[in-house]
């Protein structure tokens, strides 16, 4: 059982981090020395990285607030906070996503329809900037507001003070089927507005589109009512249960990691869902970071491409994306996606920003306040033929999402030109904040990171 590490260890971790920054040759690029990643885009090796050992824990929990180090994974964060009967307001679905990564990138989960995105429950954070200074920043500061979706181009969070919410031990689920995307979108709008469906409170909301005429919303309700629970870390696979049963019960911990065991449905690519393979695949190795390492091996040795050639299949284009589409354009997007891409299932996760005020309150990912969006996640390979290296499907997705007033997450490949990228992701504002806190341009710019992959 993990316990808080305390302030003394945190101070020692920050000292090692700043010492490693000072040891870098003058003018050399700055990056983290991380052993793991949840990014699906390559990056150039830039030499030695910053020492982040000792920055991977929870510092303390005080009621509904936690002080957390930037490299702490949500797996470890939840282990500590659940011991007090609380969880972060939004817990991204993969165990090894770090809190700092979810804030400087973007995280989302089933509570996002009521609690927004992870950065919206941050009360204060310390950031190591490109100048080597550790800056404390709070909501409303230029650095704080530009930090979400900056992917390390403005610095790295070393400490974050975040809000927590109390939770009971169990989660009751309802899987509600819809025969078309318009009906599902209407239901999402009602649930977001009322916080309930058919007279029952909804605490978590996400869904899966298996086919144009088969879509499900999973409605989660926190509960302390005792009773039997399902376990999808064994032979059964969670996403298949949506089609097999109308209701279910999980422990709160199993609910939080319901998607991690099989990396949504992507573990099937490795045979992990085959009953015989599943029996011999150790449970402790059925998790997203293990599958990610297998993907890295495939990318390194081109295993998938070789198998496609041997089977006579057209060359494949990797299409791994999460996009936000306004709820009233969801059916239009899914219709287009079915016709042009044809990948199913896809994940559906409604969200609504907590922060109001200005129309687009987070300049690096300018979704509109007061508007409901649905995150559509799709991850796989489309066999498109010789044009695959030019990424035609990914480019078409970018264009369609923009045309529908949506936005695309940047954890995977992006293909925008510089002008379009800056327009969509607040490039001018980001550059002004970067110039203030990184005057020597030590940190790689956001465009160079996500488009040029430097």
CA gap 188, 373 in Å, rounded: 10
CA gap 387, 446 in Å, rounded: 27
Q: CATH 3.30.70.2520 spans which residues of the chain?
A: 302-415
Instruction: List pLDDT tens digits, range 287-337.
Output: 999 988 888 787 776 766 776 677 778 889 999 999 999 999 999 999 999
Whether the CB-CB separation of 414 and 398 falls below 8 Å is answered with: yes
Instruction: List pLDDT tens digits, range 70-80.
Output: 999 999 999 99
Q: E strands of 315-445, at which residues?
A: 316-326, 346-351, 373-383, 407-408
Q: What is the CATH number of domain 302-415?
A: 3.30.70.2520
pLDDT value of position 25: 86
* Average pLDDT in the chain: 93
pLDDT value of position 367: 93
**Tokens, residue 292:** 């990610």
pLDDT value of position 150: 95
Q: CATH 3.30.465.10 spans which residues of the chain?
A: 6-167+437-450
pLDDT value of position 31: 81
Evaluated on CA atoms 93, 97, 100, 105, the torsion sign reads: negative
Whether the CB-CB separation of 225 and 170 falls below 8 Å is answered with: yes
Task: Say if residue 97's pLDDT is above 70.
Answer: yes
Q: Phi and psi for 186 in degrees, rounded to 5?
A: -60, -40
Report how far apart the first and last C-alpha atoms of the chain are (Å, whole number): 39
Task: Say if residue 43's pLDDT is above 70.
Answer: no
CA gap 222, 386 in Å, rounded: 49
Q: What is the mean pLDDT of residues 145-166?
A: 96
pLDDT value of position 360: 76
Task: Say if residue 394's pLDDT is above 90.
Answer: yes
**Tokens, residue 91:** 């817990």
pLDDT value of position 30: 83
Q: Which helix (H) or strand (E) holds 87?
A: strand 86-88
User: What are the residues whose beta carbons fall under 8 Å from the beta carbon of 238, sequence distance 6 or more?
Assistant: 232, 258, 259, 261, 262
Pairing of strands 170-178, 86-88: unpaired
Instruction: Please report which residue ranges of 223-326 form alpha helices under DSSP H.
Output: 238-244, 252-256, 275-280, 288-301, 303-311
| % of the chain exceeding 90 in pLDDT | 82
Assigned CATH topology for domain 6-167+437-450: 3.30.465
CA gap 132, 347 in Å, rounded: 39
| Among 414, 406, 450, 412, CA closest to 430 | 450
pLDDT value of position 46: 54
pLDDT value of position 296: 77
User: Given pLDDT bands bounded at 50, 70 and 90, which one contains residue 38?
Assistant: low
SS3 8: helix
Task: Say if residue 42's pLDDT is above 70.
Answer: no
């Amino acid at each position: 059982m993990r316990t808080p590490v305390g302030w003394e260890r945190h101070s020692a971790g920050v000292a090692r981090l700043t010492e490693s920054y000072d040891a870098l040759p003058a003018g050399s690029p700055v990056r983290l020395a991380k052993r793991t990643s949840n990014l699906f885009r390559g990056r150039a090796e830039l030499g030695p990285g910053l020492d982040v050992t000792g920055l991977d824990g929870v510092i303390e929990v005080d009621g509904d607030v936690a002080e957390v180090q930037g490299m702490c994974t949500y797996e470890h964060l939840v282990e500590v906070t659940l011991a007090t009967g609380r969880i972060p307001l939004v817990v991204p679905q993969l165990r090894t996503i770090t809190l700092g990564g979810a804030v400087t990138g973007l995280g989302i989960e089933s509570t996002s329809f009521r609690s927004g995105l992870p950065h919206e429950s941050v009360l204060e954070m310390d950031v190591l900037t490109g100048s080597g200074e550790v800056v404390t920043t709070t909501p409303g500061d230029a650095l704080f507001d530009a930090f979400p979706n900056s992917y390390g181009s403005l610095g790295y969070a070393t400490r974050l003070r975040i809000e927590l919410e109390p939770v009971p031990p169990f989660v009751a689920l309802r899987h509600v089927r819809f025969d078309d995307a318009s009906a599902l979108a209407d239901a999402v709008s009602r649930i977001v507005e009322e916080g309930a469906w058919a007279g029952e409170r909804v605490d978590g909301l996400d869904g899966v589109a298996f086919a144009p005429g088969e879509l499900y919303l999973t409605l989660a309700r926190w509960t302390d009512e005792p009773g039997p629970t399902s376990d999808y870390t064994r032979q059964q696979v969670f996403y298949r249960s949506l089609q097999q049963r109308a209701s279910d019960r999980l422990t709160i911990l199993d609910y939080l990691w319901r998607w991690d065991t099989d990396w949504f449905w992507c573990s099937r690519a490795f045979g992990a869902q085959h009953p015989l393979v599943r029996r011999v695949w150790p449970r402790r190795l059925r998790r997203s970071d293990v599958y990610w390492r297998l993907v890295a091996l495939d990318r390194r040795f081109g295993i998938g491409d070789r198998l496609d050639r041997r089977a006579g299949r057209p060359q494949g284009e990797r299409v791994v994306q999460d996009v936000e589409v306004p709820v009233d354009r969801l059916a239009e997007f899914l219709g287009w996606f079915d016709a042009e891409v044809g990948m199913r299932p896809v994940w559906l996760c409604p969200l609504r920003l907590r922060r109001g005020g200005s129309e687009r309150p987070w300049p690096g990912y300018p979704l509109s306040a007061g508007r409901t969006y649905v995150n559509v996640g799709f991850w796989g390979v489309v066999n498109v033929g010789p044009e695959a290296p030019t990424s035609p499907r990914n480019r078409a997705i970018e264009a369609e999402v923009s045309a529908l007033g949506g936005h695309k997450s940047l954890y995977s490949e992006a293909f925008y030109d510089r002008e379009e990228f800056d327009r969509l992701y607040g490039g001018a504002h980001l550059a002004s904040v970067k110039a203030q806190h990184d005057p020597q341009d030590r940190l790689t710019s956001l465009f160079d990171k996500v488009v040029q992959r430097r």
